[in-house]
C-alpha cells in the first residue's frame, strides 16, 4: 500500500513536466469536485469487483484499484495536455484524482472488509 501511495505522490511532478499549466486553476473548484468524486467512485467500484466478486487478496486489491484509478486520471491529464485548444491540463486535477482514490480505497475497505 505504501509503495502505491509513494508512486502516486511522484506522478504529479512527471505530469507537470509534460507541459501542464496552471492558468488560474483553483484548488477549490467544481472541476476538482468532479475529479475527486469520479475517482472515488471508480476506486470503490473496482475494489468491490476485484475483492468481493473475483476473490482476490486485500493487498492485490489495493494495487489494482489504486493503480487503475490513477492510470485513468493520468491518461485524462495527458489527453488534456495534448489538446490544449479544447482542454486545460492541471496537476491539481490529478491531485484531486489521487485524493479521491485514497478516499475510495478507504471506503472500499470499510464496505467490503468490515
Does 59 or 1 have the greater pLDDT score? 59
Q: Spell out the residues 6+ positions from residue 55 whose beta carbon is closer than 8 angstroms to its own.
A: none
pLDDT, residue 67, reads 97
Residue-range domain boundaries for the chain:
2-10+29-112
Cell readout for 62 is: 489495493
Residues 17 and 40: their CA atoms lie apart, in Å, by 26
User: Is the entire prediction scored with pTM above 0.95?
Assistant: no
Q: Are the CB atoms for 15 and 91 separated by under 8 Å?
A: yes
Does 1 or 44 have the greater pLDDT score? 44
Does 107 or 16 have the greater pLDDT score? 107
Question: pLDDT tens digits for 28-87?
Answer: 888 899 999 999 999 999 999 999 999 999 999 999 999 999 999 999 999 999 998 888
Amino acid at each position: 500500500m505504501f509503495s502505491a501511495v509513494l508512486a502516486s505522490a511522484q506522478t504529479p511532478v512527471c505530469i507537470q513536466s509534460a507541459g501542464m499549466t496552471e492558468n488560474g486553476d483553483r484548488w477549490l473548484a467544481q472541476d476538482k469536485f468532479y475529479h475527486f468524486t469520479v475517482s472515488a467512485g471508480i476506486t470503490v467500484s473496482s475494489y468491490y469487483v476485484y475483492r468481493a466478486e473475483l476473490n482476490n487478496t486485500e493487498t492485490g486489491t489495493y494495487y489494482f484499484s489504486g493503480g487503475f484509478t490513477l492510470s485513468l486520471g493520468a491518461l485524462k491529464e495527458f489527453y488534456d495536455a495534448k489538446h490544449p485548444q479544447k482542454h486545460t491540463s492541471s496537476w491539481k486535477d490529478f491531485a484531486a484524482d489521487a485524493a479521491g482514490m485514497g478516499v475510495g480505497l478507504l471506503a472500499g475497505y470499510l464496505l467490503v472488509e468490515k
